Copies of this chain bind each other. A is one copy, B any other.
Amino acid sequence: MARIPVAQRRRDFIDAAVEVISSHGIDGATTRRIAEQAQANVAMLHYCYDSKEDLFADVYEYVSGKYREVIEGSDPHTTLPGAAQAILRGVMECYIDSRSFTATTFELVSWARRQHGDRGIAVYDQALDSLRKALQEAAAADPVAPEVIDEIAYVLATLADGFGVNWLTYGDTTAAREQMEVNCAVLDSWLTARLAAGPAKPARRKRAARA
């Protein structure tokens, strides 16, 4: 009917997949459902993608990309705490903006883990990398030990993840906005204490926590 070039069709399928995955889960996201959501045919899907796995790979990349955007595109700050605040806020706002995106991300991460093992955690890894880089840049004027950066990145991820789980579970926008503030307050009080304490934690022995 509509006669749409493959490139556009692929984008449609990715969007459709995000929607379907968020409401039916990874395994509930069948080719037929995705095709229907994209107002296309099952055969069309296989005309654009060799396999369902191929489509999911694109969805995966799309999600990764969005994270990078949000993290790198957050309001630039010259202080480490400022940058950390801005990034955390950015991610949480992005979650609130699109529940489908949030749900799909969490589905993808857990799917990738059990599907591809180590290689599957790429989204998470990449997001943490962008995170570390952004923090390091913000702290350029007043450098901080890499272990501290790692720790901050981890806390940021933890707060964002925790926020995401709750937001997905309850879906209450008003509550979510309040919780966003709470999380920012949590980050703030901890960061202040942490940066005052010095580079090394009391009981640190081995290499820094990877995440």
Q: List residues of A whose CB falls within 8 A of some B CB.
A: 23-28, 103, 106-107, 109-111, 113-114, 121, 124, 151, 154-155, 157-163, 165-166, 168-170, 172, 174-175, 178-179, 181-183, 185-186, 189-190, 192-194, 201, 203-204, 206, 209-211
Contact = CB atoms under 8 A, between A and B. Distances in A.
A200 B89 CA distance: 22
A23 to B, nearest CB: 6
Contact of A155 (B160, B169, B182, B209): B182
A116 to B, nearest CB: 12
B107 A110 contact: yes
B155 A166 contact: no
Secondary structure at the A interface, as helix, strand, loop or mixed, is helix
A90 to B, nearest CB: 17
19 contacts: A23-B114, A110-B168, A121-B169, A121-B170, A154-B166, A154-B182, A155-B182, A155-B186, A157-B162, A158-B165, A158-B179, A161-B161, A169-B211, A178-B204, A181-B201, A185-B190, A189-B192, A189-B194, A190-B190
A12 to B, nearest CB: 23
Contact of A27 (B28, B155, B172, B186): B28
Q: How many copies does the complex hold?
A: 2
Contact of A161 (B107, B165, B186, B190): B165
Given A25-B111, A28-B27, A166 B162 contact: no
A179 B154 contact: yes
A170 B211 contact: yes
B25 A209 contact: no
A172 to B, nearest CB: 7
A59 to B, nearest CB: 16
